């Protein structure tokens, strides 16, 4: 069930810290109660005890509360949680009719690209991949293809490319296409793509939204809850049952209470690390939208506020083996996939994704956590300089 609400936005800090004023009315508990029931008993006259509690696929208060909180943060009208970011993306893509058309930004999260390519082939959907961070290319392709959906990721993973959302939205509107934005790396704290004209904003809530590497979840939010597009997605989630479990939603809500605080520290740490890497002799290139040298920096300044996020990538001088050696020498960073958690992670993307998106084997992606930044930089320094553990 979608959450409809009148936006009631205080600061994001207050919204999240108080979990959108979650107070257990029965006990006064200052955190929401956890209700694992899958079904709800009826009275002897067969009426429901509560009209909002029939069966857990539709009726889950903690899920609703988490959806509402994220929806307010995104300045949206309605939001839906899914059991993973990929499930949220799949729900969007399933609205494209067989034989329809899709434009997807090239070189984005490889899991999205892999699944979407297979899905489009199965459904005979024409898929065109385009360098959407170059507005002219996006305009030209959109006018030619006239797609049902344009799907972009900004900043993108792992290239940290920035897409001009206002321009993309105008381009889409001109041909009646829907703009869907994966804003996972930006988080709902740093950017609200609906305000730039996106039809739907998507998050892998597995990442910074939860922030503790212990929940897999996805989120979609719209600024137009009555559109056919949203209705199709909402109905699909309900009928096909791609719902988030109670415990996951409860953990997600708990994680979200510190989201602005975490994002602030992670972004500050990432900015300092990006600056450090830029000046390191063994680094070829640093990809981070907060760097003034980054191609999308000016745009990122417009579309993000309060920081540039916790995700960055850098390319090591030498071969892919050098990059793997750097990863191997790190002591503080975990060598693990994913991003947005409180603990810092590094990943050699080419090992994970092979040639799906054309990622070079000298690229290391870094998810910066909330550890002390001096210790993170010292660890990177020794690993890059070739110190023996």
- The answer to whether 316 and 284 are in contact (CB under 8 A) is yes
d(CA 384, CA 330): 9
Q: Shortest Cβ distance from residue 156 to ligand PLP (Å)?
A: 8
Interface stretch with ligand PLP, choices 30-38, 80-88, 301-309, 372-380 (CB under 6 A): 80-88
Using CB under 6 A, count the residues that bind ligand PLP: 15
Interacting residues of 47 by C-beta distance below 8 A, sequence separation 6+: none
Please give the residues from 216 up to 255 whose contact with ligand PLP meets the rule CB under 6 A. 216, 218
**Choice between 182 and 362, CB closer to ligand PLP:** 182
Structure tokens at 314: 């850098």
Q: Which two tokens stand for residue 193?
A: 């793509």
Residues ≥6 apart with Cβ < 8 Å to 355: none
Tokens read off for 58: 């539709």
Q: Is 211 in the site for ligand PLP (CB under 6 A)?
A: no
Rule CB under 6 A: is residue 85 a binding residue for ligand PLP? Answer: yes
- Yes or no: say if 150 and 127 are a contact pair by the CB < 8 Å rule: no
192 binds ligand PLP (CB under 6 A): no
Identify residues 306-345 at the interface with ligand PLP (CB under 6 A): 338
Regarding 303 and contact with ligand PLP (CB under 6 A), the answer is no
**Span from 51-59, 65-73, 107-115, 346-354 in contact with ligand PLP (CB under 6 A):** 107-115
Q: Are 66 and 74 in contact (CB under 8 A)?
A: no
Beta strands in 65-120 (DSSP E): 78-82, 101-105
Nearer to ligand PLP, 86 or 160 (CB): 86
Among 111, 197, 255, 341, binds ligand PLP (CB under 6 A): 111
Out of 15, 86, 180, 256, point to the residue binding ligand PLP (CB under 6 A): 86
Tell me whether strands 334-335 and 363-367 are parallel, antiparallel or unpaired: unpaired
Task: Give the binding site for ligand PLP (CB under 6 A).
Answer: 84-86, 109, 111-112, 153, 157, 182, 184, 204, 206, 216, 218, 338
């Amino acid at each position: 069930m979608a959450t409809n609400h009148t936006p009631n936005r205080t600061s994001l800090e207050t919204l999240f810290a108080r979990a959108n004023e979650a107070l257990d009315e029965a006990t006064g508990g200052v955190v929401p109660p956890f209700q694992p029931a899958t079904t709800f008993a009826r009275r002897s006259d067969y009426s429901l005890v509560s009209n909002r509690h029939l069966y857990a696929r539709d009726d889950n208060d903690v899920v609703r509360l988490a959806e509402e909180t994220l929806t307010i943060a995104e300045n949206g009208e309605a939001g839906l949680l899914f059991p993973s970011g990929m499930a949220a993306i799949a729900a969007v893509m399933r609205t494209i009719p067989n034989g329809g058309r899709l434009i997807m930004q090239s070189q984005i999260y490889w899991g999205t690209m892999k699944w979407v390519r297979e899905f489009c082939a199965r459904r005979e959907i024409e898929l065109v991949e385009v360098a959407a961070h170059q507005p002219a290319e996006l305009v030209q392709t959109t006018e030619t293809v006239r797609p049902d959906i344009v799907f972009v990721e900004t900043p993108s993973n792992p290239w940290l490319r920035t897409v001009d959302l206002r321009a993309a939205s105008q381009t889409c509107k001109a041909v009646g296409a829907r703009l869907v934005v994966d804003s996972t790396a930006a988080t709902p704290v740093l950017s609200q793509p609906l305000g730039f004209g996106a039809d739907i904003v998507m998050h892998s809530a597995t990442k910074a939204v939860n922030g503790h590497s212990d929940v897999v979840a996805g989120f979609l939010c719209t600024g137009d809850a009555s559109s056919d597009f949203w209705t199709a997605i909402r109905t699909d989630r309900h009928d096909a049952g791609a719902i988030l479990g109670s415990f996951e939603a409860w953990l997600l809500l708990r994680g979200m209470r510190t989201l602005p605080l975490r994002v602030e520290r992670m972004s500050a740490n990432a900015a300092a690390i990006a600056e450090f890497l830029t000046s390191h002799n063994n680094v070829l290139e640093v990809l981070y939208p907060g760097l003034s040298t980054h191609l999308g920096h000016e745009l990122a300044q417009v579309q993000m506020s309060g920081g540039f996020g916790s995700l960055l990538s850098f390319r090591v001088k030498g071969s892919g083996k050098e990059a793997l050696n750097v990863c191997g020498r790190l002591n503080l960073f975990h060598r693990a996939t994913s991003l947005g958690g409180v603990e810092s992670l590094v990943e050699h993307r080419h090992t994970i994704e092979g040639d799906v998106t054309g990622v070079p084997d000298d690229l290391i992606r870094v998810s910066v956590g909330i550890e002390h930044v001096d210790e993170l930089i010292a660890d990177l320094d020794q690993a890059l300089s070739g110190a023996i553990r």
